[in-house]
Structure 1
Amino acid sequence: MTAHADGDATHTYENVTCPFCGLLCDDLTVTRTGSTLKVSNGCPRATAGFQRPLPPAKPMVRDAEVTLEEAIKAAADLVRQAKLPLYGGMATDVAGQRAIMAIADQTCGVVDHALSDGQYRNLRVVQTSGWIMSTLTEVRNRADLIIIVGSDIHKLHGRFFDRIVNPEHTMFDGVGTKRTVIFLGEGLDTSGAVGPRVDEVISLPVAKDRIPEVLSAISARVRGFNIPAPQATAPSTSKIGSMFAGLVPGSKLATAEAPAHEIAGIPFADIDAVAEKCKKAHYGVLVWAPPALSMPQADMTVHMMTEIVRELNQTTRFAGLSLGGNEGAPSAASTCTWQTGYPLRVSFANGKPEYDSVRYNIGRMLTEGEGDILVWVASIGTDIGLPQTKVPTIVLGTPGVRLAQSPTVFIPVGTPGIDHAGQMVRCDNVVSLPMKNLHRSQLPSSADVLAAIQAAL
């Protein structure tokens, strides 16, 4: 089922879009010989994804090999009997997401992406206060200051520096030709911030759980507030609260207050210098990857960044840029919003879309014994395999996907951009990019299998 029909013939594909991270880099050159792929210009994540050997895989029902038609019938029987089916994983392309929404609607199910916890670090901010955001293209062409917050971008998105921070060409001559890159966080890989467009690299190695303190200090200085040293005798309810209890507007510290010498281990002079660079930037950008912000109340950290951006836009141009978006997460969120008006974590149990970010969190529902079947789609990478659960499970997965347990029904499916054509939404949510069929295998798409299961209900 996974082998390709043209034997060992060699084909080269240009301008291939990579599905393995949210950047969706669309300039790859991939050579296929039989079912083996080789990438000539990809990052380590792309190389590992495209060149991963595809193990043989057959449809399985209760650990017994069956035909595709028999697996589809068995899956349809399970879904038909369920009172509250859960549709999770959702690692697929736009067509696959539409198919998930369609079958969830018909069967009164719940939809949620495997990586939605990271997405909600952004969504809570959008829902409560809004934000000012940039795009990959805008940053590439205009930014002169890039501040990376708490996220190892070089590890998560290997070509961000190559394509966005230090591109060979930009749209406007003289705009964003030299840029300062600031890393805010401990242990971040700064090696990608090199090249003729990078003027200065600054690193503030603050522990992740203390990043909010540094952001608060930057925010205060951007607004023109002074930061007094914490008072040893004053009662303290929190690190941030005690530190900024005596903020005084103006350029000089009140005579009764001693200035702060460091904040979260970072010299105040360095923090003040960053705030000054923000105010003097022509087009500054705060960059983060939501999955990397694993500190408590990470959504408040995102909120703090958006407030800094909001304040700076009174005197200059500043924006945020959220990366992440692996495993088709932006495609899932966008498709859900297009079709229901809500972000992910939507239930159709009452015959219409109902949104609740806590109640319809599939991870929580499985832990607390809600739902009576799990349909899990993992067609891109191998790392978001089926979670441990006691309910019957149906997995539509790429061959080799890691499974915590043997599913009731397993149907191998192709990867968008490799085994079939499609579209995916980029991490900045402004464009969907075409995915080519590289004809690695004859595996069906998730959309086709889901449509067949729905037709058999």
Structure 2
Amino acid sequence: MTEITEVPSPFCGIGTDDLTIHVEGLSVKVSENGCAVNTPAFEQDITDTSARVNGKEVSLELAVAKAADLLRASNQPVIGGCATDVNGMRGVMAVADKAGAVVDNVNFPAARRNFLALQDTGWMTTTLAEIKNRCDFLLVVGVDLEGFSPRFFERYLWNKESMFLDDTSQRDVVYLGKVPSGEASTSPTGGKAKVIPCADADLPEVMAVLRALVKGRKIVAESVCGVAINDLQGIAEQLKAAKYGVVTWAAGALGFDHAELTVQMLCEMVKDINTMDTRCSGFPLGGKEGDQTANQVCGWTSAYPARTRFSSGFPEYDPFLYDSNVMLANGEADVLFWVQAFNSASVPPVTELPTVVVARSGMTFAKEPEVFIPIGTPGIDHAGHAYRLDNVIAIHLKKLRDSGLPSTAEVLNAIEHAL
């Protein structure tokens, strides 16, 4: 058995890099600093090692050739999932460019809410390092933060040492919307986070009133959607009194129509606070299923996020038209190509179209795809890089075992060369 320390994770989004892993053959066990997100992701067993075509095991070369044949015969292929590391996403882009495909990350329906707000009026956001060293007030809007990232508070809020704070345990935390699922937000000295619950669908109205209070507007009502105006006034005063306030949200948790307007309201409120002789920043949560990596690589190679079409011979971005699920439902695609290196439970949508799946070993299907190529997982079966949720760091991922499985990049580069 081999013990590997200081292992970074591509699964949790926050760049956890202090895991201790025990490796014995193909078995991987997290022995220290695991969490509800990382431990099961690292410890998943390998079940598939051979490629399949129409359900029959074949060589990797034959599977690659079949995948290339399907793409070559396609008029409009769609590459979905796009959950992989940097080199894997480069491979996705190369295949898309050559095959004239649409590229669509599995988490883009959530990311679109952020992109629409960002492209319309911009935002002011911060990084994990700045939160760790400066944040004295954290407002969590519409998301169970410890459910999203179980070790966020431990690593970035209740850290023992900080460059600009004498006592990190004195930081204040307020939840607005969802109630936290555990006690991670409780400070080391026992201070509890303040929780002001409200339904997701009420957040647009609640946030509009909160922004008005931040700007000093008079609110005549005593409550909005069941939330006391006095409670919102308290949040407004804390935001303005903080030396470095942070407002965080997860676009994927805002499951209501036109949630991008609520994201925009949050971002505009942050800008308002920065005109009041203090500092405040937004902090959008993400980084899972390779979503930040997909958008970063797609951005620097095409100038657009990962919902882009290449069938015209140049990249065309449209966050609505090139929704892979809509295209499949409307009969606008004729081949589905699914890439998922991290999560074997993230299966492709069931379709009658020819389907190619390049995915983590262990994926099971309601309908067997025409081609299935099991691949290694970045950070377990091969080294690589993946962007964490604040987009400023590409985490260097370690190889932990020799599984014999190819990487996403190796498979996609072979398919691209065969086209």
Structure 1 position 27 matched with structure 2 position 18: yes
Structure 1 position 368 matched with structure 2 position 360: no
Aligned to 1:14: 5
The two structures, once aligned, show a CA RMSD in angstroms of: 1.4
Aligned to 1:304: 265
Contact 2:101–2:309 (Cα < 8 Å) also in 1: yes
How far the C-alpha of 1:88 sits from its partner, in A, is: 1.0
Q: 1:283 aligns with which of 237, 244, 252?
A: 244
Q: Indicate how the Cα distance of structure 1 residues 440 and 288 shifts in structure 2: closer, same or farther if over 3 A, else same.
A: farther
Distance 2:85 2:383 in 1: 9
Contact 1:165–1:198 (Cα < 8 Å) also in 2: no
Contact 1:347–1:360 (Cα < 8 Å) also in 2: yes
Aligned to 1:69: 61
Provide structure 1 residue ranges, at least 5 long, that are not aligned to the other structure. 1-9, 229-259
Q: Indicate how the Cα distance of structure 1 residues 70 and 389 shifts in structure 2: closer, same or farther if over 3 A, else same.
A: same
Contact 2:357–2:371 (Cα < 8 Å) also in 1: yes
Q: How does 1:123-142 map to 2 (within 5 A)?
A: 123-142=115-134
Deviates more, 1:208-217 or 1:308-317: 208-217
Q: 2:210 aligns with which of 215, 218, 234?
A: 218
Q: How does 1:271-350 map to 2 (within 5 A)?
A: 271-315=232-276, 316-350=278-312
Find the residue that maps to 2:280 and give its secondary structure: strand
Structure 1 position 359 matched with structure 2 position 321: yes
Find the residue that maps to 1:219 and give its secondary structure: helix
Number of residue-to-residue matches in the alignment: 417
Contact 2:14–2:149 (Cα < 8 Å) also in 1: yes
Contact 1:150–1:293 (Cα < 8 Å) also in 2: yes
How far the C-alpha of 1:168 sits from its partner, in A, is: 2.6
Contact 2:186–2:192 (Cα < 8 Å) also in 1: no
Aligned to 1:266: 227
- The letter of the residue matching 2:249 is W
Distance 1:24 1:121 in 2: 23
Distance 1:304 1:197 in 2: 34
Distance 2:189 2:390 in 1: 22
Which of structures 1 and 2 has the bigger CA Rg?
1
Deviates more, 1:12-21 or 1:111-120: 12-21
Provide the identity percentage. 40
How far the C-alpha of 1:290 sits from its partner, in A, is: 1.3
Aligned to 1:428: 390
- The letter of the residue matching 1:28 is L
Aligned to 1:418: 380
Distance 1:204 1:311 in 2: 22
Q: Deviation digits for residues 395-429 of structure 1, max 9, x if unmatched?
A: 00111224342100000000000000000011111
Deviates more, 1:397-406 or 1:80-89: 397-406
Q: Indicate how the Cα distance of structure 1 residues 299 and 224 shifts in structure 2: closer, same or farther if over 3 A, else same.
A: same
How far the C-alpha of 1:151 sits from its partner, in A, is: 0.6
Q: Indicate how the Cα distance of structure 1 residues 175 and 19 shifts in structure 2: closer, same or farther if over 3 A, else same.
A: same
Find the residue that maps to 2:313 and give its secondary structure: coil
Aligned to 2:79: 87
- The letter of the residue matching 1:192 is A
Contact 2:386–2:396 (Cα < 8 Å) also in 1: yes
- Return structure 1 stretches of 4+ with deviation > 4 angstroms: 197-200
Find the residue that maps to 2:339 and give its secondary structure: strand
- The letter of the residue matching 1:16 is V
Structure 1 position 383 matched with structure 2 position 345: yes
Find the residue that maps to 2:37 and give its secondary structure: helix
Distance 1:327 1:402 in 2: 18
Q: Deviation digits for residues 348-394 of structure 1, max 9, x if unmatched?
A: 11111111111111111111111111110011012321111121010
Structure 1 position 98 matched with structure 2 position 90: yes
How far the C-alpha of 1:45 sits from its partner, in A, is: 1.1
Provide structure 2 residue ranges, at least 5 long, that are not aligned to the other structure. none
Distance 1:137 1:396 in 2: 35
Find the residue that maps to 2:116 and give its secondary structure: helix
Contact 1:415–1:445 (Cα < 8 Å) also in 2: yes
Aligned to 1:168: 160
How far the C-alpha of 1:298 sits from its partner, in A, is: 1.1
Distance 1:197 1:333 in 2: 40
Q: 1:396 aligns with which of 358, 362, 383?
A: 358
Find the residue that maps to 2:296 and give its secondary structure: helix
Distance 1:355 1:266 in 2: 40
How far the C-alpha of 1:175 sits from its partner, in A, is: 7.2
Deviates more, 1:445-454 or 1:14-23: 14-23
- The letter of the residue matching 1:123 is F
Aligned to 1:152: 144
Q: Indicate how the Cα distance of structure 1 residues 440 and 287 shifts in structure 2: closer, same or farther if over 3 A, else same.
A: farther
- The letter of the residue matching 1:18 is S
Distance 1:155 1:175 in 2: 25
How far the C-alpha of 1:197 sits from its partner, in A, is: 7.1
Aligned to 1:438: 400
Distance 1:405 1:390 in 2: 9
Find the residue that maps to 1:388 and give its secondary structure: coil
Find the residue that maps to 2:247 and give its secondary structure: strand
Find the residue that maps to 2:123 and give its secondary structure: coil
Q: Indicate how the Cα distance of structure 1 residues 282 and 199 shifts in structure 2: closer, same or farther if over 3 A, else same.
A: farther
Find the residue that maps to 1:365 and give its secondary structure: helix
Q: Indicate how the Cα distance of structure 1 residues 136 and 372 shifts in structure 2: closer, same or farther if over 3 A, else same.
A: same
Find the residue that maps to 1:225 and give its secondary structure: coil
Contact 1:183–1:190 (Cα < 8 Å) also in 2: no
- The letter of the residue matching 2:89 is Q
Structure 1 position 191 matched with structure 2 position 183: yes
Find the residue that maps to 1:226 and give its secondary structure: coil
